[in-house]
Amino acid sequence: MVAERLCTVCAYEMEEGPRDYNICPPCGTEFGIHDVNSSIENLQDLWLKSGPRWHSFRCGPTCEMESV
């Protein structure tokens, strides 16, 4: 696990990391868009209150995911 590639919202290890408009498969956070006007804590809260539901159709919940 590489800390620089962990999603700051759900702790999923992303291929490219949470930057440059990358979208995290589990939580759907698009970095550079969603995190501009909202805090990471607020994004975490919103995701957790939603179920949390898996966002991506390309990479399903069977992808390896570290717990928050």
pLDDT in tens, 2-52: 889 999 999 999 988 999 899 998 899 999 999 999 999 999 999 899 887
Distant-in-sequence, close-in-space partners of 9: CB < 8 Å, separation ≥ 6 = 18, 24, 27, 29, 40, 43, 44, 47
Domain residue ranges in the chain:
1-58
- pTM listed for this prediction: 0.75
Determine the Cα–Cα distance for residues 47 and 33; give it in Å rounded to an integer.
16
For the cut 60, the answer to whether the pLDDT of residue 63 exceeds it is: no
